[in-house]
Amino acid sequence: MSAEPAAPPALIVRLAAPRGFCAGVDRAIQVVEATLERFGAPVFVRHEIVHNRHVVSRLRDLGAVFVETLEECPDDRPVVFSAHGSPRSVTEAAQARGMTYLDATCPLVSKVHVEATRHHAAGRQVLLIGHAGHPEVVGTMGQLPEGTVVLIETLEQARDFIPRAPDALAYVTQTTLSVDDTAEIVEMLRSRFPAIGTPHRDDICYATTNRQDAVKSLAGACDVLLVIGSANSSNSVRLVEVGLRAGAPKAFLIDDAGDLDLAWLEGAATVAVTAGASAPEDLVQGVISRISDAFAVTVEEVGAARETVSFKLPRALLA
């Protein structure tokens, strides 16, 4: 008589809440979809609309053409500017060419643009806390004349920075940074320059903060943390870093279920799962399904923060 197959090992999957799409990402995707519906394909999109390869692939299948420069776009087709924001020169070039353009910049990124412009107009030297080369940073620095904004990436740079005038300074930040890392940099700047101008409200967006808080609440009580998001997604990469710092023994960034190595979960009793702000929920469910192929899974949703923020589409798409 053959032996009964061994029962799969038990595994608790704790789902972070909130996770996945934020209001800015949701709006940006809707902008591309609505532009395609109104104008037909192709619609050109300057830079990836959001940093998730699955989202980009789906929109490409619908007729979106992703490019890196405005020069790659014809004059007679609409162009959408990504959620990360664009330098002022890009908008000016589109206007000069008479192009139809739709701006999908997240309103919370636009808020940072307004703050930087206001501080510059008041004669303050503007510091931007962020990561060099990230499109949001490029867009924010591009709101002001070249060489005007000083980028601060590290605590050491904040400590060593020599201002033009110590009493005429202000800072803004990228919206997708580590809350804790940024707080250290801000504390350094404020201790060195007590008169430094600050944002009216924190520039790190509510969604970034909420997702990092959710990971912190799970990290110390899990054996493995899985963060679903693309490698070029700043907020997703930060979730891995935050999880490790908060006590997760292991943390992995995966695009989807296909990236998951089940060997990572061997011997684990509890796995925490979250998703970056540009990762759709179907990817989360795909990962849970793959885990369920090898384990007897119990899913628990953990977290109390409810997000009710929504942003309107550009006026041109509402007419």
- The C-alpha atoms of residue 49 and residue 256 are separated, in whole angstroms, by 19
Residue 85's SS3 state is coil
Contacts of 239 (CB under 8 A, 6+ apart): 211, 212, 215, 227, 229, 253, 274, 276
Helix ranges, 97-153 (H):
107-121, 135-141
- The C-alpha atoms of residue 25 and residue 31 are separated, in whole angstroms, by 10
Rg (CA), the chain: 22
Residue 95 has a CB neighbour count (10 Å cut-off) of 10
- The C-alpha atoms of residue 58 and residue 11 are separated, in whole angstroms, by 32
Backbone region of residue 13 per phi and psi (left: phi > 0; alpha: psi in -120 to 50; beta: other values): beta
One-letter amino acid for residue 106 of the chain: C
One-letter amino acid for residue 214 of the chain: A
The catalytically annotated residue of 37, 136, 187, 241 is: 136
DSSP 100: -
> How many angstroms from the chain centroid is the CA of residue 168?
30
Handedness of CA 139, 152, 111, 66 (dihedral sign): positive
Is 136 catalytic? The answer is yes
- The C-alpha atoms of residue 131 and residue 177 are separated, in whole angstroms, by 8
- The C-alpha atoms of residue 55 and residue 183 are separated, in whole angstroms, by 31
Active site residues: 136
